Amino acid sequence: MLGSLAKSLFGNSNDRAVKRFMPQIDAINALEATYEGLDDTGLKTKADELRTRVDGGADKDNMLAEAFALVREAAKRALGQRHFDVQLMGGMALHSGQIAEMKTGEGKTLVATLASFLNALDGKGVHVVTVNDYLASRDAAWMGKVYEKLGLSVGCIVAGMDDDARRAAYHADITYGTNNEFGFDYLRDNLKFRLEDMVQRDHHFAIVDEVDSILIDEARTPLIISGPAETNIALYAVADAIIPDLVEKDYDLDEKGNSVSLTEDGIEHAEELLRAAGAFEEGTLYDINNVGLLHHVNQALRAHKLFQLDTHYMLKAGLVVIIDEFTGRAMDGRRFSDGLHQAIEAKEKVEIQAENQTLASVTFQNYFRMYEKLAGMTGTALTEAGEFSEIYNLDVTAIPTNRDVQRIDHDDEVYRTGEERDAAVIDLITDCQTRGQPVL
C-alpha cells in the first residue's frame, strides 16, 4: 500500500528520470528564438565557441542546452525538421550514457544528432552504430547536412573501403558505420605493427541503434579474423561420404541447442564405414592418431544435420556464403571456423578451400565495453533492462511518445508447433493484404 501511495505521489523511477529532463528542455526552448535570429555563419560561430570552451576545460554537461538548441536550429534549416521536446529528452538520455527506449516512428535518427554533436565538441570522435551499410550511408548523408551547418565533419565506414578511406572516416568528428565494420577494424588494427597504419582512434563515445539486437542478441557473437592453416583437405570428402549412411540411432540431435553428437552406436558405425573406405585400419576414432579424423567426422555431421542450404548459407558463384541469422543478408568473405565451412563445402560438392586458424577475435560485448561512454536507442529495451545494467552498466529510460499511441497491442499468441504458428502467420498476412494493410 505504501508503495502504491509513493508511486501515485512521486511516479516510478522512469517518470522521475523523465521529469529531471524538464528544466533543461525549458532552457533549450528559451534559446530557440535567439538562435532563429542568427544566420548560418552565426550558427557556426556559436558552435565554434562551444568547442573553444570545451578545449578550455569546460564541462559539456553545463552547455547541453546551448548545444541542443543549436542542433535543433540546424536541423530546421538543413532538413526542415524540428526536434520535439520528447526527442530532446532522448538526446539527454544518450548524452548521459543511457539507453533511450523510443517507439518506432519517434525519430531516433534525428535524436542521435543531439548527443553526437555535444560529445564531438572535444574532437575525440563519436561513433554512431547502425545495423547495415545502407542505413549507415543513408544516415551519414542525411544527418550530415545538420552537422555541416555546425562546422562538424562526418565520415562513414562501409564494406570495401581501403585503409586510407577508413582512416579519414574515423578522423571525422562523427563516424557512422555498422557494428561489424567497427569491430573488424579494431581487430585488423591489432594485427598491424605500426601505429600510423592503424585506422581507428580511441574509443570515446558510441551511440548504438537497435541496441538490444547488437548488445544482447548478438552479444556473444565473435568477430574472427583468420589465416590459412595446414590441414588434410582430402579428409573432408572422406568424412562427408559416410554421413548419409548413418541412421537416427547413430547420433543425438538437439536442434534447439544447435548441437549434434555421435552415440556409441554411431561411433562404431562410423568406424566401420571409415575402415571400408580405407580411411584408417586399426584402433578407434578416439585414438590419438585418429583425433583429426574424428574432428572431420563431427564437423561433417554438423554440416549435414544442423546447417541447411538457403537458411544458414547459400551457394554463390561456386562458393558457400554465410547468411546472417539476424539480418538475412549474405556475408561475403566470412567463413565458419574450425573446419565447419570446409565440411559444408564437401557436403555441397563445391571446391574445398584451405582451413583457417584464428588470428584475432573479439565479441561485440567485449568490443563495446571498451568505449569510455556508451549509449543506445531501440524501441524495446525495458524488457532487457536487467541485462543492460548487469553486463554494460547501462540504465534504460523510456521516452514518452510525441503523441498518444493509437496502436492497440495484443497479447502474444502461442502455438504448439512451428507449423501451426506459420499457418497462423500466413492467414494474418493474407487478411492484411485483402484489407490493403501494410505488412512489416
The per-residue pLDDT for range 200-220, each reduced to its tens digit, is 999 999 999 999 989 998 888
C-alpha 341/C-alpha 327 separation (Å) is 20
Q: Which SS3 state, helix, strand or coil, does residue 39 take?
A: coil
> Does residue 164 lie within any of the structural domains?
yes
Q: Which SS3 state, helix, strand or coil, does residue 157 take?
A: strand
Question: What is the band of 2 on the pLDDT scale with cuts at 50, 70, 90?
Answer: very low
Stretch 277-298: mean pLDDT, rounded? 84
Q: Are 348 and 315 in contact (CB under 8 A)?
A: yes
Query: Are both 421 and 281 inside the same structural domain?
Result: no
The sign one gets for the Cα dihedral 379, 383, 385, 388 is negative
Q: In the chain, what percentage of residues exceed pLDDT 90?
A: 69
Q: Is the pLDDT of residue 393 over 80?
A: yes
Structure-model confidence comparison of residues 421 and 233, the more confident one: 421
Q: In the chain, what percentage of residues exceed pLDDT 70?
A: 96
Query: Are both 292 and 435 inside the same structural domain?
Result: no
pLDDT for 10: 43
pTM attached to this predicted model: 0.74
> Does residue 405 lie within any of the structural domains?
no
For the chain, how many residues are written? 440
Structural domain of residue 22, as residue ranges? 2-223+364-398
Structure-model confidence comparison of residues 26 and 15, the more confident one: 26
Query: Are both 252 and 342 inside the same structural domain?
Result: yes
> Does residue 404 lie within any of the structural domains?
no
Query: Are both 236 and 203 inside the same structural domain?
Result: no
> Does residue 406 lie within any of the structural domains?
no
pLDDT for 233: 84
What's the CATH number where 123 sits? 3.40.50.300
C-alpha 272/C-alpha 267 separation (Å) is 9
Question: What is the band of 5 on the pLDDT scale with cuts at 50, 70, 90?
Answer: very low
C-alpha 275/C-alpha 360 separation (Å) is 38
Query: Are both 348 and 371 inside the same structural domain?
Result: no
Q: Is the pLDDT of residue 262 over 70?
A: yes
Q: Which SS3 state, helix, strand or coil, does residue 308 take?
A: coil
Query: Are both 240 and 332 inside the same structural domain?
Result: yes
Stretch 53-67: mean pLDDT, rounded? 95
Query: Are both 262 and 153 inside the same structural domain?
Result: no
pLDDT for 384: 86
Q: Last residue of some domain: 319, 335, 354?
A: 354
Stretch 321-340: mean pLDDT, rounded? 88
Query: Are both 125 and 169 inside the same structural domain?
Result: yes
Question: What is the band of 289 on the pLDDT scale with cuts at 50, 70, 90?
Answer: confident
Query: Are both 124 and 55 inside the same structural domain?
Result: yes
C-alpha 5/C-alpha 261 separation (Å) is 57
Out of 12-21, 142-151, 279-288, 373-382, give the one with best mean pLDDT.
142-151
Q: How many domains does the chain have?
A: 3
Pairing status of strand 356-363 against strand 319-323: unpaired
Other beta carbons within 10 Å of 211: 27
Question: What is the band of 386 on the pLDDT scale with cuts at 50, 70, 90?
Answer: confident
pLDDT for 3: 45
Measured CA distances, 242 to 202, 296, 438 (Å): 51, 11, 48
C-alpha 136/C-alpha 182 separation (Å) is 12
Which residues touch 271 (CB under 8 Å, ≥6 apart)?
Answer: 284, 285
pLDDT for 8: 41
Query: Are both 349 and 372 inside the same structural domain?
Result: no
Counts of helices then strands in the chain (DSSP H, E):
18, 14
Query: Are both 128 and 250 inside the same structural domain?
Result: no
C-alpha 358/C-alpha 225 separation (Å) is 6
